């Protein structure tokens, strides 16, 4: 039967190939909705690679946050905008040098990181979760809430401030807008809206027989 390590390696190359192909498709596909879907596929296969590296929490969080929420909003916006592809493609040659510079800087940074790690003789680093004998998720939770509590709380605070600012920036009060107060609507009683009138029966056909005033 197939050796487990070999199988993992095959899976890794499979997922990596899909990731790279999908990432290329993001920037080459003409249809912008197709491009967004390729980006979804890129995230998804990246999550698969992380799963292989036993980072299950990060992998599933990537899917929940990016695929499940952020990309849905992306898709939403792209569907609404009727982007003319020709105009987008016009700038390709003009922006190419900038793109190449950015790519080169990123490549250099990655190589430097790997090089620094290799110098210390730990390219991958030991798996701290396995060392502690816990699942990856449990270890991550413990580390975040004990060892790294302050940075974690600061990050949370910054994100909250970001949310509040985003709302404050886009919120504008219009004088001519009519508001519905849900609590007022719920509190409404039947007697506020209709009045039940008791009246004696009357027949409109026979005006002479009727003594009651007609309504």
Partner 1 sequence: MDQLIHQVLVPVGYIAAIALPLIVAVAMFVYWERKVIGWMHVRMGPNKIGPFGVLQAFADVVKLLLKEVILPSSANRVLYYLAPLLALVPAFAAWAVVPFGEKMVLADVNAGLLYLLAMTSLGVYGIILAGWASNSRYALLGAMRSAAQVISYELAMGLALVCVLVLAGSLNLTDIVHAQAGGKGFFDWFWLPLLPVFVVYFVSGVAETNRAPFDVAEGESEIVAGFHVEYSGSAFAIFFLAEYANMILVSFLASIFFLGGWLSPLQGWIHADAPGWINWIWTGGFAWLLIKAFLMSFLFLWFRATFPRYRYDQIMRLGWKVFIPITIVWVLVAGCMKYFGWVVAGTGV
Q: Which residues bind partner 1 (CB under 8 A)?
A: 1, 31, 33-34, 37, 40, 56-57, 60-61, 63-64, 67-69, 72-73, 75-76, 79, 135-138, 180, 182
CA 186 to chain centre: 34
| Nearest in space to 201 (alpha carbons), one of 188, 212, 186, 190 | 212
Taking the complex as a whole, the smallest distance from the CB of residue 209 to partner 1 amounts, in Å, to 42
Quote the CA–CA distance of 206 and 203 in Å, as a whole number. Answer: 6
Tokens of 92: 């390709």
Closest CB to partner 1 among 69 and 111?
69
Closest CB to partner 1 among 64 and 83?
64
Quote the CA–CA distance of 70 and 86 in Å, as a whole number. Answer: 26
Closest CB to partner 1 among 143 and 202?
143
| Nearest in space to 74 (alpha carbons), one of 83, 86, 87 | 83
Closest CB to partner 1 among 31 and 147?
31
Quote the CA–CA distance of 183 and 179 in Å, as a whole number. Answer: 12
Taking the complex as a whole, the smallest distance from the CB of residue 64 to partner 1 amounts, in Å, to 5
Taking the complex as a whole, the smallest distance from the CB of residue 138 to partner 1 amounts, in Å, to 8
Taking the complex as a whole, the smallest distance from the CB of residue 175 to partner 1 amounts, in Å, to 20
């Amino acid at each position: 039967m197939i050796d487990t390590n070999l199988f993992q390696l095959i899976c890794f190359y499979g997922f990596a190939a899909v990731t790279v192909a999908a990432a290329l498709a993001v920037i080459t596909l003409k249809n912008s909705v197709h491009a967004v879907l390729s980006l979804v596929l890129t995230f998804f296969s990246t999550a698969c690679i992380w799963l292989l590296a036993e980072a299950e929490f990060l992998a599933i969080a990537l899917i929940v946050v990016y695929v499940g929420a952020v990309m849905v909003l992306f898709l939403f916006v792209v569907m609404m905008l009727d982007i003319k592809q020709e105009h987008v493609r016009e700038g390709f040659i003009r922006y190419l040098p900038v793109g190449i510079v950015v790519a080169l800087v990123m490549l250099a940074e990655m190589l430097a990181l790997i090089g620094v790690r290799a110098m210390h003789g730990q390219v991958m680093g030991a798996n701290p979760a396995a060392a502690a004998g816990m699942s990856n998720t449990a270890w991550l939770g413990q580390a975040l809430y004990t060892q790294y509590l302050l940075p974690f709380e600061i990050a949370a605070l910054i994100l909250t401030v970001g949310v509040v600012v985003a709302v404050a920036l886009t919120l504008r009060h219009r004088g001519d807008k009519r508001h519905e107060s849900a609590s007022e609507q719920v509190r409404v009683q039947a007697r506020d809206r209709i009045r039940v009138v008791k009246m004696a029966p009357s027949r409109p056909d026979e005006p002479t027989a009727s003594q009651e005033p007609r309504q």
